[in-house]
């Protein structure tokens, strides 16, 4: 790509009246050193090989208004983070060496159009639409509430608040354990509780379910202090993450539980908690024991589970005595059932959430939940696929969780309203 600035990592596009700056990011340090408010960021392929969530969220925190990828899968966590934060994304599907400035500017113009669409996407009707089947939202960044102030008025609660998203806003590019070592456990707990309180308070009287963190080694390797604490994994999705990491690092997960306990101590009675990547009831019960040691129990919080492994779905009867709700992680459940890398663009057309195998696992869990009066919600990207949700409603799904946009919420509220009218 030709360069028209003194720094080949910054590209100036457009006319003097319509000048746009694109930062080319290969590493987290590129993001921290080069991204300024109002810029676009192009993440090259190698930047996304370790999952782009931390780099994308940091770029947005520093003021990026649009994200471009050389190539990436639609389920990369960076795309999920940008979607929650209301920042548009596009994939150029071309290596940077083959990309000319005209093609890059075309991608930027597309993002500018999407920025306008997001601004104009507020629904004409901003009144709460009552439905039997709840429509909740995915919410990992409290700042989203200031971007879309109508959210809490429109939805039935928060079904999927990823703690790793919240934590990235605290650690600001530093490995969590390095951050705690430099500051203190008390400061981390206090800051995390402060952020979680924003969400719990905004949705007071409605369920708010927090999922404990799902950081993986390759994400954390990119952070300050990461190389001293992490080992690269060839397949991060199958690696040291989720509940297995929490059980190996009980002091780390305990800090998250203690932050949530502070919310309970403030009087919030709308809290639920659940772990990621659970495969067996034995590890789930160990996780609950750690929560109880931190002062949380089923009398003051609801315990749930994210069903995202076939092992969990196939042994789900073992879990039912211990939980009140289920959130389906359809992205990973599909990945592990079909043996398809969710972040590989080459396999995107084969990544089918409504395949017979995935639907069979979900139907099994939903049926058991119906028999045990356990609430079921879809929390992955499939949660806002209309045809997919319609099929699951037929199995007995109780609700869904969608991206935090007013227009999307009202779309599903009306879908459920129509379904309930005809069934």
Please give the pLDDT value at position 73: 61
Least confident of 28-32, 103-107, 150-154, 358-362: 103-107
Q: What are the structure tokens assigned to 389, written together? A: 């949700």
HSE-up (13 A, CA, CB side) for residue 417: 9
Domain 10-119 and domain 135-422, same fold? Reply is no
d(CA 296, CA 280): 21
Q: Which tens digits make up the pLDDT trace of 88-114?
A: 888 887 777 777 778 787 888 888 887
Please give the pLDDT value at position 19: 80
Most confident residue range from 27-41, 69-83, 328-342, 363-377: 363-377
Measured at the CA of 289, the angle between CA 286 and CA 294, to 5 degrees, comes to 135
Residue 418 pLDDT level (bands cut at 50, 70, 90):
very high
- DSSP 8-state symbol, 348: G
Least confident of 257-261, 328-332, 344-348, 360-364: 344-348
Identify the sign of the CA torsion 133, 139, 143, 147. negative
SS3 420: helix
Position 3 pLDDT exceeds 50: no
Please give the pLDDT value at position 120: 59
H/E stretch holding 23: strand 20-25
Q: Which residues make Cβ contacts (< 8 Å) with residue 225, sequence separation at least 6?
A: 174, 175, 177, 178, 179, 181
Identify the sign of the CA torsion 178, 181, 182, 188. positive
- Cβ(236)–Cβ(67) under 8 Å? no
Which CATH number describes the domain made up of 135-422? 3.20.20.60
H/E stretch holding 271: strand 271-274
Give mean pLDDT, residues 179-183. 98
Q: Which tens digits make up the pLDDT trace of 301-320?
A: 999 999 999 999 999 999 99
47, 49, 52, 55 alpha-carbon torsion, rounded to 10°: -30
d(CA 31, CA 206): 37
d(CA 82, CA 59): 10
H/E stretch holding 208: strand 208-211
CA distances in angstroms from 127 to 18, 145, 208, listed in the order given: 38, 17, 20
Please give the pLDDT value at position 6: 39
Give mean pLDDT, residues 65-78. 76
Query: Shortest CA distance to 305 belongs to which of 286, 292, 320?
Result: 320
Q: Which tens digits make up the pLDDT trace of 110-134?
A: 888 877 776 655 555 578 999 999 9
Residue 48 pLDDT level (bands cut at 50, 70, 90):
low
Give mean pLDDT, residues 173-201. 97
Least confident of 58-72, 211-225, 282-296, 306-320: 58-72
Identify the sign of the CA torsion 83, 85, 87, 92. negative
Q: Which tens digits make up the pLDDT trace of 23-34?
A: 888 888 888 889
Please give the pLDDT value at position 2: 45
Residues carrying an active site annotation = 77
302, 307, 375, 410 alpha-carbon torsion, rounded to 10°: 110
SS3 209: strand
Position 294 pLDDT exceeds 70: yes
Please give the pLDDT value at position 7: 55
Please give the pLDDT value at position 211: 98
Every domain of the chain and the residues it spans = 10-119, 135-422
How high does pLDDT run on average in the chain? 90
Please give the pLDDT value at position 4: 41
- Cβ(40)–Cβ(65) under 8 Å? yes
Which CATH number describes the domain made up of 10-119? 3.40.50.720
């Amino acid at each position: 790509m030709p360069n028209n600035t003194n720094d080949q990592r910054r590209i100036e596009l457009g006319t003097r009246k319509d000048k746009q700056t694109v930062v080319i990011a290969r590493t987290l340090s590129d993001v921290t050193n080069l991204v300024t408010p109002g810029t676009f960021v192009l993440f090259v392929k190698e930047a996304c090989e370790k999952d782009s969530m931390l780099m994308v969220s940091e770029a947005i925190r520093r003021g990026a208004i649009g994200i471009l990828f050389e190539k990436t899968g639609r389920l990369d966590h960076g795309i999920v983070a940008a979607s929650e934060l209301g920042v548009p994304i596009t994939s150029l599907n071309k290596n940077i060496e083959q990309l000319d400035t005209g093609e890059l500017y075309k991608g930027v113009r597309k993002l500018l159009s999407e920025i306008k669409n997001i601004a104009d996407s507020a629904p004409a009707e901003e009144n709460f639409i009552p439905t039997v089947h709840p429509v909740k939202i995915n919410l990992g960044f409290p700042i989203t509430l200031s971007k879309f102030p109508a959210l809490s008025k429109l939805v039935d609660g928060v079904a999927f608040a990823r703690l790793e998203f919240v934590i990235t806003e605290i650690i600001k590019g530093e490995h969590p354990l390095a951050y705690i070592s430099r500051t203190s456990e008390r400061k981390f707990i206090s800051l995390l509780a402060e952020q979680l309180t924003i969400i719990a308070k905004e949705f007071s009287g409605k369920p708010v379910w927090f999922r404990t963190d799902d950081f993986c080694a390759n994400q954390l390797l990119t952070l300050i202090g990461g190389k001293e604490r992490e080992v690269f994994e060839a397949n991060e999705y199958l690696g040291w993450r989720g509940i297995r990491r929490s059980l190996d690092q009980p002091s780390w997960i305990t800090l998250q539980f203690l932050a949530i306990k502070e919310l309970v101590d403030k009087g919030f009675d709308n809290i639920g908690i659940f772990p990621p990547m659970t495969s067996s009831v034995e590890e789930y019960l160990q996780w609950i024991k750690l929560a109880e040691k931190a002062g949380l129990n089923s009398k003051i919080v609801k315990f749930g589970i994210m069903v995202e492994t076939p092992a969990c779905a196939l042994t789900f009867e073992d879990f039912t005595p211990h939980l009140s709700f289920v959130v389906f992680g359809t992205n990973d459940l599909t990945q592990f059932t079909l043996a398809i890398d969710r972040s590989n663009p080459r396999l995107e057309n084969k990544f089918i959430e409504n395949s017979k195998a995935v639907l069979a696992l979900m139907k099994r869990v939903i049926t058991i939940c119906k028999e045990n009066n356990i609430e079921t919600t879809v929390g992955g990207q499939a949660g806002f696929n209309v045809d997919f949700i319609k099929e699951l409603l037929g199995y007995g799904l109780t609700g869904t969780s969608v991206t935090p946009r007013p227009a999307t919420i009202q779309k599903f509220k009306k879908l459920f309203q129509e379904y309930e009218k005809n069934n």
